[in-house]
Amino acid sequence: MSDTPRYRAIAGRELPHHPRLLHLPAPTRLAMAAVAEVLPFRVNEYVIDTLIDWERVPEDPIFQLVFPQPEMLSPEQRAPIEQALTLGASSDALAQLVQQTRAQLNPHPAGQLSHNVPNLESRRLDGIQHKYRETVLFFPRQGQTCHAYCSYCFRWPQFVGDADLRFASDEVEALVAYVRSRPDVTSVLITGGDPMIMKTSLLARYIEPLLEVPHLATIRIGTKALAFWPYRFTHDVDADQLLRLFERVGAAQKSLALMAHSSHPRELETQAAQAAIARIRSTGAVIRTQAPLIRRVNDDPTIWADKWRLEVQLGMVPYYMFVERDTGPRGYFEVPLAKAVQIYQEATRQVSGLARTARGPSMSATPGKVVVDGVAEIGGKRVFVLRFLQARRPDWVGRPFFAEYDPKATWLDQLRPAFGAPEHFYERELGQLLSAGGGFSEPILRRRALQLMGEVA
Ligand SMILES: *Cc1c(COP(=O)(O)O)cnc(C)c1O
């Protein structure tokens, strides 16, 4: 790349013609193009030239991470789309096929569209998700895209529609009004998409009003930019301004945490990434790292041990290992819980205590974040030992519970209560909470939101 790297997205229909892919067989490229019609696809030259080892394609983990793979859809799902592409079907016909296929992929797991949407004076606050008492998630409207897309993304449906990217000043007013109204909220997590896709001036318009809220302690920004476009922090025209913004958060006696989506140690090995990390840390911001455990990308204890070790060496704090969610091409990427907990344990055993700060494997499921602590034998029965790290009801947190061991189970809803119990301890209360509107609240993907709030703020 040239001295001043400039971001350019490579997306959609460019895929089958990209020079790097031309050596792949034509049917493979057609199949990839069909998958890219259904699931989000976007990459850039940094990822292509720096992160992917093209000698190892298609097995290369970063190639698997960003490029659509034929097996992400079943042959039955793919064939009609391939045919439509080959025969040049009308865009209406193609769109209809694509829509039908997406609907088969559980686009909104964990009750994301209905539960968890907060009310302020009984108006729904779209763009805000409040599921756990202390933490509010905020989805700024212009932050709902990324520098490249992960092929397993659980928020994939929001990247395949038409986004409305105008700044909504009433949106941030709504957020601030909501957080002010909730003294229990100590942390706002700005997420997406990737908020780092936004210009600094725009991000500042979201962050600065939050600095005035006394009970707010931390502002977090969820991002994959360290991996997919580290130049955001070093070379982009407003990179310096961004670092000044981070410093202002500290000056206001709040802590800024960059929640870096970090899938594989290779993402952190580049000079560009390490320069970005050093600059971010120089502002006083903390970088915490998290990622899902993904088959073909990082389903190996050595990868996690190497990743956590390098993160600690570079001054970052490992935070979560997630279980891949029950959406999208999950069959392609999922790792059984039994294997996930084994990978977690073998990885933590290889690193010093400083690198054991990541909790996991954790499922972000409808009732809360459930970690698999291990497999135990109790009274001659093998069971999974489970625990809430976060919950819709704070008093569920920390209480161990047990499920029958099942080597194939990949998600909480497949786990049966152990010892003949009729249901898990939280299920009755969860049913009541959800029928009453979800307790705190959950998400919202780009939406015409906060016309509402203009009125109440
Ligand atoms: C993980 C998560 C959070 C953050 O939880 P912490 O334990 O504070 O890191 C907040 N909201 C939702 C919906 C989450 O999944």
* Digit-coded pLDDT (tens) for 16-46: 888 998 888 999 999 999 999 998 899 999 9
For 397, which DSSP code? B
pLDDT of residue 446: 29
Condensed to tens digits (0 to 9), the pLDDT of residues 348-391 reads 999 999 999 999 999 999 999 999 999 999 999 999 999 999 99
Tokens linked to 329: 């091409």
Nearest CA to ligand 1 atom 3: 135
CB 218 within 8 A of CB 187: yes
- As a whole number of angstroms, the distance between CA 251 and CA 290 comes to 26
pLDDT of residue 453: 34
- As a whole number of angstroms, the distance between CA 366 and CA 370 comes to 10
Least Cα distance to 389 among 315, 290, 309, 294 occurs for 290
Tokens linked to 316: 């970052």
Report the largest interatomic distance among the alpha carbons of the chain, rounded to a whole angstrom: 65
pLDDT of residue 14: 84
Tell which wins on pLDDT, 272 or 129: 272
145: CA distance to ligand 1 center in Å? Answer: 20
Least Cα distance to 345 among 366, 369, 317, 373 occurs for 373
What confidence category does residue 50 fall into, taking pLDDT thresholds of 50, 70 and 90? very high
| Pocket lining: 137 vs ligand 1, CB cutoff 6 Å | yes
pLDDT of residue 90: 87
pLDDT of residue 436: 76
| For residue 324, pLDDT beyond 60 | yes
Alpha carbons within 13 angstroms on the beta-carbon side of residue 449 total 35
Scanning 208-316, the segments in alpha helix (DSSP H) are 225-228, 239-251, 266-269, 271-282, 301-313
316: CA distance to ligand 1 center in Å? Answer: 19
| Pocket lining: 288 vs ligand 1, CB cutoff 6 Å | no
Across the range 402-408, mean pLDDT stands at 98
Percentage of the chain beyond pLDDT 90 is 73
Instruction: Enumerate the β-bridge partners of residue 383.
Output: 376, 404
User: How far separated are the first and last CA of the chain, in Å rounded?
Assistant: 47
Residue with tokens 């580049």: 270
pLDDT of residue 451: 34
Tokens linked to 287: 């970088």
pLDDT of residue 115: 60
- As a whole number of angstroms, the distance between CA 9 and CA 69 comes to 19
Across the range 46-73, mean pLDDT stands at 95
Across the range 174-182, mean pLDDT stands at 92
Residue with tokens 């977090």: 220
Find the range with the poorest average confidence among 154-168, 179-193, 427-441: 154-168
Condensed to tens digits (0 to 9), the pLDDT of residues 64-78 reads 999 999 999 999 999
Nearest CA to ligand 1 atom 15: 364
Count CB neighbours of 312 within 10 A.
19
| For residue 128, pLDDT beyond 90 | no
What's the mean per-residue pLDDT of the chain? 89
**Secondary structure in 3-state letters for 340-396:** HHHHHHHHHHCCCHHHCCCEEEEEECCCEEEEEEEEEEECCEEEEEEEEEEECCHHH
Across the range 334-342, mean pLDDT stands at 97
CB 307 within 8 A of CB 271: no
| Pocket lining: 112 vs ligand 1, CB cutoff 6 Å | no
pLDDT of residue 454: 36
Q: Please choose from 185, 186, 189, 255 the residue to mutate so as to test ligand 1's pocket, defined by most ligand atoms within 8 A of CB.
A: 189
Beta strands in 78-224 (DSSP E): 119-120, 123-124, 128-132, 135-138, 187-190, 218-223
Burial 285-296 (b: 16+ CB within 10 A, else e): bbbbbbbbbbbb
Least Cα distance to 141 among 192, 188, 184, 106 occurs for 192
pLDDT of residue 168: 63
Q: Global pTM?
A: 0.90
| For residue 275, pLDDT beyond 90 | yes
| Pocket lining: 303 vs ligand 1, CB cutoff 6 Å | no
**403 CB-contact burial (10 Å; exposed 0-12 / middle 13-18 / buried 19+):** buried
What confidence category does residue 455 fall into, taking pLDDT thresholds of 50, 70 and 90? very low
Find the range with the poorest average confidence among 142-151, 257-266, 367-376: 142-151
Alpha carbons within 13 angstroms on the beta-carbon side of residue 293 total 32
Tokens linked to 337: 């819980």
Condensed to tens digits (0 to 9), the pLDDT of residues 406-450 reads 999 999 999 999 999 999 999 999 998 888 765 554 433 223 333
| Pocket lining: 441 vs ligand 1, CB cutoff 6 Å | no
pLDDT of residue 122: 46
**89 CB-contact burial (10 Å; exposed 0-12 / middle 13-18 / buried 19+):** middle
Q: Where are the domains of the chain?
A: 9-105
pLDDT of residue 456: 29
pLDDT of residue 11: 85
- As a whole number of angstroms, the distance between CA 45 and CA 65 comes to 15
| Pocket lining: 117 vs ligand 1, CB cutoff 6 Å | no
What confidence category does residue 141 fall into, taking pLDDT thresholds of 50, 70 and 90? confident
- As a whole number of angstroms, the distance between CA 245 and CA 253 comes to 13
3-state DSSP helix/strand/coil percent for the chain, to nearest 5? Answer: 40, 20, 40
Nearest-atom number in ligand 1 for the CA of 116 is 13
13: CA distance to ligand 1 center in Å? Answer: 35
CB 353 within 8 A of CB 380: no
Q: Please choose from 390, 397, 440 the residue to mutate so as to test ligand 1's pocket, defined by most ligand atoms within 8 A of CB.
A: 390
| For residue 114, pLDDT beyond 60 | no
Least Cα distance to 191 among 145, 150, 139 occurs for 139
pLDDT of residue 444: 34
For 287, which DSSP code? E
